[in-house]
Amino acid sequence: MNKVSSVIQRVQKLVEPSNEQRYLVENVYTNVKEVLSKELKRVFPDFDITLQGSVAKDTFLPDEVDLDVFVLFPETVSKEWFEKVFVNIVINTFKNYGPEILYAEHPYVRINMKGIEVDIVPAYRLRPGEKPRTAVDRTPLHTKYVIDHLAENQRKEVRLLKLFMKTLGIYGAEIKVKGFSGYLCELLVIAYGSFLEVLRAATKWRPFKICIDIEKHYTTYKDCLETFRNSPLVVVDPVDPLRNAASAVSLKSLARFMVAAFSFLEKPSENYFTSEQVENYVPEIVKNLGIASIIINIPRLSPDVLWGELQRVAKRFADELKYLGFEVIDVGIWSDEKKVAIIIAETIPQELPSIELHIGPPAWNFNHVKKFIEKNRGVIISGPWIRDDGKVVILRPRKIRKLKEAIERRLNLILIAPHINLESIKEICTDIECLEKYTRDYRDLMPWLKKHLKKRDKALLSMY
């Protein structure tokens, strides 16, 4: 037995759900279906309660045992009925199971029964070829396709792929992750046959030049790539040729998967399937980098809306620091998704020099040059002179040198998201000690912070 096979054989026990787990999810689903069916029949007789997602396809991991229960209605039912009637029926029916309203395109309800999270989602019945009315309407078609095309012995292959991606932090199509959905993992195994063959194929992929078309919807590779232009990875949805099942995958997530596939095949290890503890920060990072953080009070939003806004703010944070002269090494986001979010930026240097190079217009724009010199006449330390590129430049005193002052001066340009503004600010930190005090209240923050600052990417494991 070669080393790759030996590692996979040992890891398989990590991905196989126990008989007890299987019995529990089946029991919970039966209870939910029976109780909900009885209550719905009182107000509307035409519906189907179905099990969807990874449990229905038997590709779920032992630590992601949750249920997706879809209630399918005819298209005569309005979306308003889903929101005003259906949601209330579900909440009242399962009031003893901590019902919570969540939002996708329309509201759905999450409950917790016997420790299992159950999402109860209204959707429209959809036949192959029909246009969906909501984003979730395709889900039953996805489930059927995978059940029909995934062999029983391939289910463990999907689980291996999911755990591999989960350990890398690229499992999930939500905005927070921008990675590979469970459905996408299933399609990749259907396309290539096994976990190892997916990895081998990934080492040969090149971003923006990959089209995986299982059902051969497109006659040529070029047609496929033209249809899904600007997508780093294209996997044509077998049940909808105009949908890219990999549309959520960012270039970074794809790059990390590709290099991790190469790295694992070159030097197989169980570490690709297990989480590691980061012992501490790298001292040189904390000493020599500027570490600036904005701590934000967040409203209760759906995770996708929240992370979309946080990513928008993080980008502006980095852009404003760069504009003022700081070199931004990296930006990270942490949130408990309930009360607090932290956006952290590492910069070089910690404090900017006392003078700066100020670049003016090209020398041949005479009137603009006159205005540039006149505007800066009282603060010119050296110059003006003309550079090799023909632009007029000067040296002048720098107005903002310290990180905290830089952030405070630009906050109105950083906090521009609909639900995140100046009133959202809890604190601005420009040292690690300030940030560490929040780890006492939020246990998940310290492991994230250590990992973020150390920056040792598991995708490159065999190379360091």
Q: State pLDDT tens for residues 388-430.
A: 999 999 999 998 999 999 999 999 999 989 999 888 999 999 9
pLDDT-flagged residues of the chain (< 70): 1, 278-285
Was domain 283-348+407-463 assigned CATH 3.40.140.10?
no
Per-residue pLDDT, 103: 80
Q: How far apart are CA 64 and CA 372, in angstroms?
A: 61
- The CATH number assigned to the domain with range 13-136 reads 3.30.460.10
Nearest in space to 187 (alpha carbons), one of 198, 177, 178: 198
CA gap 284, 348 in Å, rounded: 13
Per-residue pLDDT of 24-76, as tens digits, reads: 999 999 999 999 999 999 999 899 999 999 999 999 999 888 999 999 999 99
CA distance linking residue 268 with residue 160, whole number of Å: 14
Chain segment 251-268, per-residue pLDDT in tens: 999 999 999 999 999 999
Strand partners for 211? 234
Annotated domain spans of the chain: 13-136, 150-273, 283-348+407-463, 355-397
Alpha carbon separation from 424 to 52, 73, 304, 380, 406 (Å, rounded): 38, 41, 19, 39, 18
Residue 265 one-letter amino acid: L
Determine the pLDDT at residue 251.
97
CATH of 150-273, one of 1.10.1410.30, 3.40.50.150, 3.40.50.300, 2.40.50.140: 1.10.1410.30
CB distance 86 to 71 below 8 Å: yes
Cis peptide before 349 (omega within 30 of 0): yes
Interior angle at CA 274, CA 190 and CA 291, nearest 5: 110
pLDDT of residue 281: 62
Q: Residue 198 has what pLDDT?
A: 98
Estimate the share of the chain in helix, then strand, then coil, as percent rounded to the nearest 5: 45, 20, 30
Closest by CA position to 4, among listed 188, 273, 256, 253: 273
Q: Nearest to residue 394, comparing CAs of 433, 423, 359?
A: 359
Whole-model pTM? 0.90
